[in-house]
Amino acid sequence: MNLVSILNKSIKKKEKKRTRHAFPLKDSTFRNKDLIEGIKVILTKDLTMFKITKKFEKIFSKKLKTQYSLMVNSGSSANLLAFQCLINPYRKKRLQKDDEVLIPAICWSTSLWPIIQSGLKPVFVDVDKENFNINLKDLKKKISKKTKALILVHVLGNSANMETIMKIVKKNKIILIEDACESIGAKYKNKFLGTYGDFSTFSFYFSHQISSVEGGMICCKNKEDENILKSLRSHGWAKDLSNQKKLEKKFKSINKKFLFVNSGFNFRPTDIQAAIGLSQFKSLESIIKIRKINREKIIKKLISDKRWNNQVIFVKRSYNVKPSWFGLTMLLNKKLKKYKEKILERMDKFGIENRPIISGNFLRQPALRKYRLKQKSRDFPNANLIHELGLFVGIKNKILTQSEINKFSNIFFKSFRI
């Protein structure tokens, strides 16, 4: 049996075990050609971070037009590195303890925790009802003298008005971090999300638009930050830095192979992940296109069906945004609020797996209780609306057939027959 058929067999076995849903949230995006790239690395026996990771970083920067990109082992690590870099003593303009960082109430847990883990103070901002991204009116209201940074969370492949946001951050000298973990390849006015901020982060977790199994990327705009990030990623080591020679000379009493110049983590990816991720990244445009087609086909089918009764409102792309849809994002009709649990349970039971928008209003999560934040979840009406009525379902990386679309639509309408 050759490698490809062994691979095929094992993938099929796994797929059977992994999901009982016809339309799962987490669907494998891996094609044989991606996995073969991973296997090629395994066969070289050079598995840890090396040449392929560098190659992926270079190609990533070139394609997205970012200055510096570093691959890490997850999007969460990328977010933590961004904030650790911002407080790092090597950074000339660094943040101080209790400096305020603005963050939308609809966010992922590891968009938030790196702020707290870095000794900074999160200040939540409400979101927009239409696109679920940060609300610009509330953003302006929440800026104080202590505001030093803003982390945007580009929600599920869509974004807020980046032009206005850039004006706000420039005017108020705010450092911008873009958490683009679920929005790779989306553009605002023909410029990729993740190229606006001082830092930006991406996730290649399984089921995202592209995947490296686990993995992520952090991008920054200058050498100073790149050096700090590189050494934080790898134990605080001085390795492959732009000022490497200078450091070795300065600390010549220390073995130059084991020179530690900073604090550190181990957030390195492996070359196996880089090879799989790079292979998927090369198809990013066609993957985005397929997901767009699937989303449009589903919506068209549902709203043209005689059973359609405005059961949900589909989230539209924001003005000037070319989205990279993560899933099919929607709000349940307000009139159906009291049946929500039942409807979603039925959808899941019949085969459409579904979930909240990111983590809902994060202020409502019990994880925050021990941290005594002054803000109250009730003061975020739009985030609460999305928390209570929002949901999304998967849209797959393969074109859905007409019979799959019909099946989706039948499950959808059957779920509402309560």
Ligand X SMILES: Cc1ncc(COP(=O)(O)O)c(C=O)c1O
Applying the rule CB under 6 A, the residues between 276 and 305 that interact with ligand X are none
Work out how close the CB of 154 gets to ligand X at its nearest, in angstroms, rounded to a whole number: 8
Binding residues among 155-194 for ligand X as defined by CB under 6 A = 179, 181-182
Residue 74 contacts ligand X per CB under 6 A: yes
Binding to ligand X by CB under 6 A, coded x per residue (else -) over 303-322, reads --------------------
Binding residues for ligand X, total number by CB under 6 A? 15
Per-residue x/- mask for ligand X, residues 210 to 239, rule CB under 6 A? ------x-----------------------
228: which 2 tokens?
A: 């700090």
Least distance CB 346 / ligand X (angstroms): 26
Per the listing, tokens 């001082």 go with 198
| Rounded distance between C-alpha atoms, residue 175 and residue 410, angstroms | 47
**Per CB under 6 A, does 203 bind ligand X?**
yes
3-class DSSP assignment, residue 318 = coil
> Please, what is the minimum distance in Å from the beta carbon of residue 110 to ligand X?
5
Q: How near is the Cβ of 237 to ligand X at its closest, in Å? A: 23
Q: Can you tell me which of 153, 160, 165, 229 binds ligand X, judged by CB under 6 A?
A: 153
Distances (CA, A) of 409 to 180, 255, 323, 412: 30, 65, 23, 5
Q: Which of 179, 226, 186, 198 is nearest to 75 (CA)?
A: 179
Which helix (H) or strand (E) segment holds residue 68: the answer is strand 68-72
Query: For residues 36 and 106, what is the distance between their CA atoms, to the nearest angstrom?
Result: 37
Is 208 a catalytic site residue? yes
How remote is the C-alpha of 384 from its chain's centroid?
Answer: 21
We find the least distance from the C-beta atom of residue 286 to ligand X, in angstroms, to be: 22
- Among 411, 347, 321, CA closest to 130: 321
Should residue 324 be labelled a site residue for ligand X when binding is judged by CB under 6 A? no
User: If binding is defined by CB under 6 A, does position 122 make contact with ligand X?
Assistant: no
Residue closest to 111 by CA, chosen among 148, 77, 62, 161: 77
- 111 contributes a contact to ligand X by CB under 6 A: yes
Q: Looking at the DSSP assignment, which residues form a beta bridge with residue 68?
A: 220
Q: Which residue is closest to ligand X by CB?
A: 75
- What contacts 241, CB < 8 A, 6 or more positions away? 227, 230, 231, 247
- 21, 154, 208, 387: the catalytic one is 208
- Of 110 and 279, nearer to ligand X (C-beta) is 110
Using the contact rule CB under 6 A, the part of the chain among 73-81, 97-105, 230-238, 369-377 near ligand X is 73-81
